[in-house]
Amino acid sequence: MVEKPSSNSACAEAEEFFSYCPHCGIELETTEIEPDKFRRRCPGCAWVQYLNPIPVVVGVAHNSTGEILLGRRNLPPARGEWALPGGFMEAGESPEQTCLRELFEETALEAAQPRLLGVYSEYTDYYGELLIVAYAVKITGGSLQIDKTELQEAEFVSPATLPAIPFPSHLDAISRYQQLTGQR
């Protein structure tokens, strides 16, 4: 696990992120918007730079025998380690759509019937705070062909014999999938 930054370092990040208001171009100032909570704020139009987590969607994609698909990541964070397929939510799509799109982009597999497994907050030193939404999805078509930019390899594994996975959210989602399907 990576240590979360203190609110002070989040404040320092905030100061680096924007110097000027993206609406009116006035130099931002640091304001204490609530006790001990500092934000960059525009003195002209009152725009506030919030530090929101980035939404990510992952899928526990299972085949007809209950095995789940894991990919060995080729991109940071955790390059070279096993994880659930997934990625960043795009504006204009639902989290279910993100889940199915990312699975298809990374593995050329089609899936359906997304069922919500959990919603998590997780910190990675590469992207900062993430909001991770996990679905179980049933693979319905396609043949496994990985996008080598995103993954080094992909494999179906039994949830009972997982390799090391560095994301607690993924492990919890897999555990909930097992509960859902009566595998434990």
Indicate which residues carry an active-site annotation: 153
Figure out which of the listed residues 18, 38, 47, 104 binds Zn ion, where binding follows CB under 5 A. Answer: 47
Least Å distance, CB 141 to Zn ion, is: 49
**Nearest residue to 136 (alpha-carbon basis) of 55, 69, 65:** 69
Dist CA 8 CA 145 (whole Å)? 44
Hey, what are 89's tokens? 């939510």
Helix (H) or strand (E) holding 22: none
Least Å distance, CB 40 to Zn ion, is: 11
CA triplet 4, 38, 45: central angle to 5 degrees? 130
Residue 104 engages Zn ion in binding (rule: CB under 5 A): no
Q: Which stretch binds Zn ion (CB under 5 A): 9-17, 20-28, 64-72, 150-158?
A: 20-28
Least Å distance, CB 46 to Zn ion, is: 7
Dist CA 74 CA 37 (whole Å)? 37
Q: Which stretch binds Zn ion (CB under 5 A): 24-32, 58-66, 146-154, 159-167?
A: 24-32
Figure out which of the listed residues 45, 48, 75, 119 binds Zn ion, where binding follows CB under 5 A. Answer: 45
Residue 28 engages Zn ion in binding (rule: CB under 5 A): no
Residue 44 engages Zn ion in binding (rule: CB under 5 A): yes
**Nearest residue to 124 (alpha-carbon basis) of 178, 58, 41, 40:** 58
Dist CA 125 CA 152 (whole Å)? 21
Q: Which stretch binds Zn ion (CB under 5 A): 14-22, 80-88, 98-106, 119-127?
A: 14-22
Hey, what are 160's tokens? 């009972």
* Residue count of the chain: 184
Least Å distance, CB 99 to Zn ion, is: 36
- Contact residues for Zn ion, defined by CB under 5 A: 21, 23-24, 42, 44-45, 47
